[in-house]
Amino acid sequence: MLYKTNIIIEKDENGYYAYCPELPGCQSQGDSLEEVRENITEAVELYLETLSESEKQALLNKEILTMTLEVQVA
């Protein structure tokens, strides 16, 4: 079965870090964007394999919104 989920990827001096907000604790890392994408895909697949169908539906039914926020600090 095909599932859609959101992935957040952050880059810093150590490489890339990815996590799935809908799946608590589901995270991975990699030295390149390609590597972190492969790693988080595997992590999500393995995570979902541990869940019942009702658990999958409950976790993946969340609406995740992202935005850029600009603030001014005095």
Across the range 52-72, mean pLDDT stands at 92
Separation CA 19–CA 69 (nearest Å): 20
The whole-chain average pLDDT of the chain stands at 95
Write out pLDDT tens, residues 41-59. Answer: 999 999 999 999 999 999 9
- Percentage of the chain lying above the pLDDT 70 cut: 100
Flag whether pLDDT at 1 surpasses 90: no
The alpha carbon of residue 61 and the mean position of all alpha carbons in its chain are separated, in whole angstroms, by 14
Indicate the residue type of 68: T
Write out pLDDT tens, residues 31-41. Answer: 999 999 999 99
